[in-house]
């Protein structure tokens, strides 16, 4: 797999791996811990070297899983994790990006990940009670101390990105972006291009919908976050099926999968975009890695880019409670 460069010269594989679903958000895991360790290590075998986790995933257990799996391969991988929540009794109870909390999380994440340095440390959500300048300054201190290499933001607004970057260079922004979630295009992507900041789209496959594996008959298991998202009601899934059908038809013509087309479209947007699809299956690792070899013509990219407007997307990407944590 070829590599791409995010901000501040951080080079990573063109497609990374979002690890959250191995521990939460998508219902019971069909595999054991040993199975997930095998999946993580297989990703490295397929050329993936960029792994995304967070303290709050689990909480804690996802970092521990990633740390155990990748400790023997540490010199071959880039580890990204996140801070920004208060966690009590195993649940996040609100935002917390106070400097002392950032430092506490950094130390705990270093232990969980079994490493002496965090390659990319994101603020998971912008905390309105803590000036972003204080956040950037604290992460900058951790970088100066050698505990962190790069600073990132997630779901941050253009203004927040500019203010943070003025204090300490931001390496990457992580936010939702896909064929059916186009929010970053108008205000965010131009700012990232201007400032030389990389972009790491999460849910690049529309939480599974763009792969064609989630249809109107899907029955979400207990604990599956999609059951709480308006876009995944049965009515909205039916309305959005036309978009997936179009992607599937192009995939068949290209001898690719719908998921590969969705990832190839993202890769075609900018050379500093690195999607992080999640999976719990080795076969999907191979499929997602293969998206880097799918060539889309300029006309095909333009046609896909117009899909959301031409066909329409039904349902919001978050419910109101989830949306409250997005910086706008």
Q: At what angle do helices 99-112 and 132-144 cross, to 10 degrees?
A: 40
Positions marked active-site: 57
Cα gap 288→307, rounded to integer Å: 21
**Which three-class secondary structure string do you get for 267-313?**
HHHCCCECCCCECCCHHHHHHHHHHHHCCCCHHHHHHHHCHHHHHCC
Beta strands in 89-207 (DSSP E): 91-95, 118-123, 148-154, 172-176, 198-202
Say yes or no to pLDDT of 328 above 90: no
| Structure confidence at residue 324 (pLDDT) | 93
Q: Which residues 6+ apart lie within 8 Å of 327 measured at CB? A: 125, 126, 155, 156, 157, 160
Span 39-60, pLDDT tens digits: 999 999 999 999 999 999 999 9
Answering whether pTM is above 0.85, one says yes
pLDDT tens digits for range 63-73 = 999 999 999 99
How is the chain split into domains, by residue range? 3-323
User: Which CATH class for the 3-323 domain?
Assistant: alpha beta
| Rounded mean pLDDT, 116-121 | 98
Task: Kindly state the percentage of the chain with pLDDT values over 90.
Answer: 97
């Amino acid at each position: 797999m070829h590599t791409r460069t995010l901000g501040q010269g951080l080079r990573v594989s063109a497609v990374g791996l979002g690890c959250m679903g191995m521990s939460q958000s998508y219902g019971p895991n069909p595999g054991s811990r040993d199975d997930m360790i095998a999946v993580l290590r297989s990703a490295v075998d397929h050329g993936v070297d960029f792994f995304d986790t967070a303290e709050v995933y689990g909480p804690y257990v996802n970092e521990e899983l990633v740390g155990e799996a990748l400790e023997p391969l540490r010199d071959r991988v880039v580890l990204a994790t996140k801070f920004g929540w208060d966690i009590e009794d195993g649940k996040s109870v609100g935002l917390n990006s106070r400097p002392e909390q950032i430092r506490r999380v950094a130390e705990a994440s270093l232990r969980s990940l079994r490493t002496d340095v965090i390659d990319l440390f994101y603020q998971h959500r912008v905390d309105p009670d803590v000036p972003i300048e204080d956040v950037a300054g604290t992460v900058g201190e951790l970088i100066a101390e050698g505990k962190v290499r790069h600073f990132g933001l997630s779901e941050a607004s253009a203004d927040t990105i500019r203010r943070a970057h003025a204090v300490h260079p931001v390496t990457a922004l992580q936010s939702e972006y896909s064929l059916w979630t186009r929010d970053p295009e108008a205000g965010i992507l131009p700012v990232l291009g201007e400032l030389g900041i990389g972009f790491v789209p999460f849910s690049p496959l529309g939480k599974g919908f763009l792969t064609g594996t989630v249809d109107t008959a899907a029955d979400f298991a207990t604990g599956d976050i999609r059951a709480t998202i308006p876009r995944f009601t049965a009515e909205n899934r039916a309305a959005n099926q036309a978009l997936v059908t179009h992607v599937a038809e192009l995939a068949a013509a290209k001898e690719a999968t719908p998921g590969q087309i969705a990832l190839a479209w993202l890769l075609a947007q900018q050379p500093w975009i690195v999607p992080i699809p999640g999976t719990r299956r080795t076969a999907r690792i191979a499929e997602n890695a293969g998206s880097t070899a799918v060539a889309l013509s300029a006309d095909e990219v333009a046609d896909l880019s117009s899909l959301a407007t031409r066909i329409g997307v039904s349902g919001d990407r978050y419910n109101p409670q989830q949306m409250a944590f997005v910086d706008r």
